């Protein structure tokens, strides 16, 4: 897979020094700044339920994240780091144990007010990345596709709404899911 193919293809790819990676790509309605806000503003992120909830996705540096894993009653919290914050082009964060096993999620935006191409990738790094890749990448890819679909649905709903902070009372019920 070249990383720009069918976003629903179940095959992971190796890249970045042969680190396991899965990539989705989609066209979204709206300009890069509107999509950037949905990716980096905590209230917007809660509204569309990304893969992982970041405590402070709005600046470079250390933060914490919460994984809500199906079948586990308590969410898993772990330290995380915002690695790239290039408004409105690229946003990336990572978590894990350096050199042993880390997960990096990256969003790259390209386009104009007529539409934006979102390239969403998850890369596994470290000594344990290859053994875990066989177990994780297919499921991770399906979770990414679900997350991308929720983001696209949320952005379609947001069209015509002001770009300022959202009023949670005016958000349709299906987008008011609380962070787990």
Calpha distance 44→166 (Å, rounded): 7
Please check whether residue 82 is in contact with residue 95, taking contact to mean a CB–CB distance below 8 angstroms.
no
* Distance, CA of 71 to CA of 60 (rounded, Å): 32
User: 21-157: which CATH architecture?
Assistant: 2-Layer Sandwich (3.30)
pTM of the full structure: 0.77
pLDDT at residue 168 tops 80? no
Residue 71 CB contacts under 8 Å (≥ 6 apart), including other chains: none
Q: What span, in angstroms and rounded, lies between the C-alpha atoms of 11 and 7?
A: 10
Neighbours of 66 (CB within 10 A): 15
Residue 142: its H or E element: helix 129-158
Give ∠ CA 56-59-65 in degrees, rounded to 5: 30
Q: Is the pLDDT of residue 88 over 90?
A: yes
Domains of the chain by residue range: 21-157
Neighbours of 34 (CB within 10 A): 19
- Residue corresponding to tokens 């700044």: 33
Are 180 and 53 in contact by the 8 Å Cβ rule? The answer is yes
Q: Give, for 47, the enclosing helix (H) or strand (E).
A: helix 42-48
Residue 12 has pLDDT above 50, yes or no: no
pLDDT score for 30: 84
How does pLDDT run across 135-164, given as a tens digit for each residue? 888 888 999 999 999 999 998 887 655 545
């Amino acid at each position: 897979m070249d990383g720009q193919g069918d976003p629903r293809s179940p095959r992971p790819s190796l890249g970045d020094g042969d680190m396991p990676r899965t990539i989705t790509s989609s066209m979204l309605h709206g300009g890069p700044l509107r999509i950037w806000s949905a990716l980096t503003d905590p209230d917007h992120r809660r509204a569309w339920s990304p893969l992982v909830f970041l405590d402070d996705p709005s600046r470079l540096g250390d933060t914490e994240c919460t994984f809500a894993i199906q079948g586990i009653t308590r969410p898993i919290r772990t330290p995380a780091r915002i690695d790239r914050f290039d408004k409105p082009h690229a946003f990336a964060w990572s978590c894990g144990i350096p050199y042993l096993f880390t997960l990096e999620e990256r969003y790259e935006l390209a386009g104009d007010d007529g539409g934006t191409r979102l390239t969403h990738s998850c890369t596994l790094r470290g000594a344990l990345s290859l053994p875990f890749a066989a177990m994780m990448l297919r499921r991770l890819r399906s979770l990414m596709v679900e997350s991308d679909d929720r983001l696209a649905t949320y952005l379609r709903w947001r069209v015509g709404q002001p770009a300022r902070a959202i009023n949670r009372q005016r958000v349709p019920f299906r987008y008011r899911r609380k962070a787990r």
